[in-house]
Structure 1
Amino acid sequence: MTSVPEPINWKRNLYIAWLGCFLTGAAFSLIMPFLPLYVELLGVTDARELNIWSGAVFSITFLFSAIASPFWGALADRRGRKLMLLRSALGMAIVMALMGMAQNVWQFLVLRALLGLLGGFVPNANALIATQVPRNKSGWALGTLSTGAVSGALIGPLIGGLLADRYGLRLVFFITALVLFICFVTTLVYVEERFTPVLKKDMLSGRQVFASLKKPRLVLSLFVTTMIIQVATGSIAPILTLYVRELAGNIQNLAFVSGMIAAVPGVAALISAPRLGRLGDRIGPERILIAMLGLSIVLLIPMAFVQSPWQLGILRFLLGATDGALLPAVQTLLIYNCTNQVAGRIFSYNQSFRDVGNVSGPLIGAVVSASYGYRAVFCVTALVVLANVVYSWWSLQYGAARIRLPGE
């Protein structure tokens, strides 16, 4: 008589994946406060060239991540998601260590591109948890998981700045590599996945993946929504400090005030994501998605008319609360509309759209602010989100009035 294997402890996997997302989020953001300073250390001293190189080394990681994500997603569907988590954590640890030994800016640029190619811990963690968690708890689980990367991204710059001031820039890269290696070890030891490898000849092609979906247009609209969410977040990033200076004048603690205003959306997202995810499990993630997109428009427009930094900070805190629900709602809808067989690739495609948003958002913000001023950025961003609300509402109406769970 064959014994039935015990079910996978998906809650333990969720908590370990949360820790991994936290560590990778912290590792990536540790070096953000001094990225231009490191470029300068590598020999770029001209002010104009420094701006160009800083933008290039920042953006190239997202660009190459967008290119590589579908490949890693296909491999995850063939070989398993845990293997992709291990590959990502170990690969990024090695690249980070090499960054600390870079001798010129070209080496650094290539390594930043390689970091994008080898990344993908967070989308694979989402795919792993989404395929193991009971469907009626998907919103809560993915909302909780999203707080890991957000928490790491919030605390990383603070720790990175302190370490860089005390121990120098290069050492931070080696500390970051150690953090990622710890992520690799905890994933190796504690994450459980029962996965039967799929032969390459049995894998679905990209066209067959979309043909297997019951509502491919809805899934595509969710990809676009992910991109727009990142565009809306990133468009404000390049001008935030300058906008705060315009509102407050040349105050002595400009960097601190700007940093606080930059951080408050993340704090709000930490609070709201699990709660709104649980609410989405009850009333439907599609309702949460449309409501929070609409509310974000209502919050973006007044930002163009604020008269003080504290007014901007309050609005950004409220905006962060809406943002905390958006990506988990999208991810929940994605897992409702695809099979476990293709979940890795669906989440990797979604990551590619997210990376495109990460690249294009700051560019849009910079162009609009240069042509029409800082306040115009918020109005243009609100218009982009409004167009997406209409598109998402139409897609959800076309795809399904209500997503049905198994057993309903």
Structure 2
Amino acid sequence: MESWKVNIISVWFGCFFTGLAISQILPFLPLYVEQLGVTSHEALSMWSGLTFSVTFLVSAIVSPMWGSLADRKGRKLMLLRASLGMAVAILLQAFATNVWQLFILRAVMGLTSGYIPNAMALVASQVPRERSGWALSTLSTAQISGVIVGPLLGGYMADTLGLRMVFYVTAALLMVSFLVTLFLIKEGGRPNISKANRLSGKAVFASLPYPKLMISLFVTTMVIQLCNGSIGPILALFIKHLSPESNNIAFISGFIAAVPGISALISAPRLGKLGDRIGTARVLMATLIFSVILFFAMSWVTSPMQLAVLRFLLGFADGAMLPAVQTLLVKYSSDQVTGRIFGYNQSFMYLGNVVGPLIGAGVSAMAGFRWVFIATAVVVLLNVWQLAVMLQRKKQQDEKRNEIAP
């Protein structure tokens, strides 16, 4: 078997354990913040948003540094650093005694994160370009699978064993990811992109056929992460609001957080193949518009079951959006700069993870839970408009080039 195929299988398991580990904690993090002594609605909403977002804010700041190191030392080292570092940081969170300690440890975790984006970049740099769409879609199912199992397992453990026990199990799973990476992934030498590494950011974009479209795709990545992250800080609290008499909020929150992953796992390979036939950009636009409709609908739910059904439908779109963006990034960049482009996209991904929870927490504190869904729908709708404009300009640019060509 070719080495890049072995790496895809190995990285798939590494991404699965990483997605499983991270998603175990997120659904009940607001409940942990409450357990640490934050009780008022406004303070709980804001601290939930801050503890969610600080990890990704730090990640966005340090990501270029890790990217530069990956260019020199290889991406396998970055995968080992991320899995081991996050295992230690999450283990320490189990011993937090107040919300400030949790906040600081979540910030430290941001210094060590980045396993899945680096895994994507490793695969994209090794797989034949004509198969990059299939490879990235296949790899995306690993994280999706982890996100399905993680909240359910985390919610069950939180309700039966206590919130702190989940941190111990999460750290152990990240150690499994570290061992898979250490013994199974072969990089085959340092990445051969030294020439691209000497280019300035301006020169990288000057080498692209559609630089403005690439920036638009970066923004789209940020918005996709934003619309997923904006609900995170208020999900458990909103479910508690919808069903105040329930005594297993953590498990219900975990189930509703995991539901989109089930449908995403179903849709990812199918919509990927559909994109190969009718165009990846068309699939991306259709799923973004579908998301807008669903977020508006979520603002009207009156029970956790209604929210679960709508989030299940949202998962069909989630399964296509990020792989579609990544496929377009590979399509419209050369081998010389693909690594740099993925690095920029990673920073926008982290920014979305910062802005989303802050929007969710802020809107919730000022206007209530339901307005979070409306605000998210409006942001995605604005992104649909800007992406449509950029795709139209690309089409016009192609038509002019065809007219000039003999």
User: Is 1:119 the counterpart of 2:84 in the alignment?
Assistant: no
User: Is 1:157 the counterpart of 2:156 in the alignment?
Assistant: no
Query: Cα offset for 1:250?
Result: 4.4
In 1, the alpha carbon distance for the partners of 2:48 and 2:368 equals 22
Query: In structure 1, what is the equivalent of residue 308 of structure 2?
Result: 313
In 2, the alpha carbon distance for the partners of 1:306 and 1:201 equals 50
Q: Deviations over 1:351-403 (max 9, x none)?
A: 22122222222332344344444444333322222211121112122235799
User: Is 1:31 the counterpart of 2:25 in the alignment?
Assistant: yes
Query: In structure 2, what is the equivalent of residue 326 of structure 1?
Result: 321
Query: In structure 1, what is the equivalent of residue 185 of structure 2?
Result: 191
TM-score by length of 2: 0.85
Q: Deviations over 1:318-362 (max 9, x none)?
A: 111011100000011111122333333322221221222222223
The 3 A distance-change label for structure 1 pair 97 and 156 is same
* 351, 358, 381: which one aligns with 1:356: 351
Query: In structure 2, what is the equivalent of residue 365 of structure 1?
Result: 360
The 3 A distance-change label for structure 1 pair 51 and 346 is same
Query: In structure 1, what is the equivalent of residue 401 of structure 2?
Result: none
In 2, the alpha carbon distance for the partners of 1:324 and 1:78 equals 33
Query: In structure 2, what is the equivalent of residue 68 of structure 1?
Result: 62
Query: Cα offset for 1:64?
Result: 0.5
Query: In structure 1, what is the equivalent of residue 402 of structure 2?
Result: none
In 1, the alpha carbon distance for the partners of 2:103 and 2:126 equals 37
| Percent identity of equivalent pairs | 57
Structure 1 runs (4+) greater than 6 angstroms displaced: none
Tell me the amino acid that sits aligned with residue 21 of structure 1: C
Contact preservation (8 Å) 2:125, 2:339: no
* 39, 55, 58: which one aligns with 1:47: 39
Query: Cα offset for 1:60?
Result: 1.1
Query: In structure 2, what is the equivalent of residue 214 of structure 1?
Result: 209
The 3 A distance-change label for structure 1 pair 320 and 36 is closer
Query: Cα offset for 1:162?
Result: 4.2
Moved more, 284-293 or 27-36: 27-36
User: Is 1:95 the counterpart of 2:85 in the alignment?
Assistant: no
Tell me the amino acid that sits aligned with residue 231 of structure 1: L
TM-score by length of 1: 0.84
Query: Cα offset for 1:28?
Result: 1.6
The 3 A distance-change label for structure 1 pair 61 and 374 is closer
The 3 A distance-change label for structure 1 pair 342 and 364 is same
Moved more, 237-246 or 320-329: 237-246
Tell me the amino acid that sits aligned with residue 287 of structure 1: R
Tell me the amino acid that sits aligned with residue 47 of structure 1: T
User: Is 1:384 the counterpart of 2:376 in the alignment?
Assistant: no
In 2, the alpha carbon distance for the partners of 1:173 and 1:308 equals 29
Contact preservation (8 Å) 1:17, 1:125: yes
Contact preservation (8 Å) 1:96, 1:176: yes
Query: In structure 1, what is the equivalent of residue 257 of structure 2?
Result: 262
Contact preservation (8 Å) 2:259, 2:315: yes
Contact preservation (8 Å) 1:231, 1:358: yes
The 3 A distance-change label for structure 1 pair 194 and 212 is farther
Q: Deviations over 1:45-70 (max 9, x none)?
A: 35246665444332211110111112
Query: Cα offset for 1:122?
Result: 0.6
The 3 A distance-change label for structure 1 pair 377 and 91 is closer
In 2, the alpha carbon distance for the partners of 1:122 and 1:101 equals 26
Tell me the amino acid that sits aligned with residue 129 of structure 2: R
Moved more, 220-229 or 94-103: 94-103
Moved more, 281-290 or 377-386: 377-386
User: Is 1:236 the counterpart of 2:228 in the alignment?
Assistant: no
In 2, the alpha carbon distance for the partners of 1:247 and 1:169 equals 22
User: Is 1:86 the counterpart of 2:83 in the alignment?
Assistant: no
Tell me the amino acid that sits aligned with residue 126 of structure 2: Q
Secondary structure of 1:47's counterpart equals coil
Contact preservation (8 Å) 1:81, 1:128: yes
Secondary structure of 2:336's counterpart equals helix
Query: In structure 2, what is the equivalent of residue 12 of structure 1?
Result: 6
Moved more, 52-61 or 30-39: 30-39
Q: How many residues align?
A: 395
In 2, the alpha carbon distance for the partners of 1:361 and 1:201 equals 32
Contact preservation (8 Å) 2:259, 2:312: yes
Contact preservation (8 Å) 1:139, 1:285: no
Query: In structure 2, what is the equivalent of residue 406 of structure 1?
Result: none
Moved more, 84-93 or 173-182: 173-182
Contact preservation (8 Å) 1:33, 1:157: yes
Tell me the amino acid that sits aligned with residue 29 of structure 1: S
Query: In structure 1, what is the equivalent of residue 338 of structure 2?
Result: 343
Contact preservation (8 Å) 1:261, 1:312: yes
The 3 A distance-change label for structure 1 pair 206 and 79 is farther
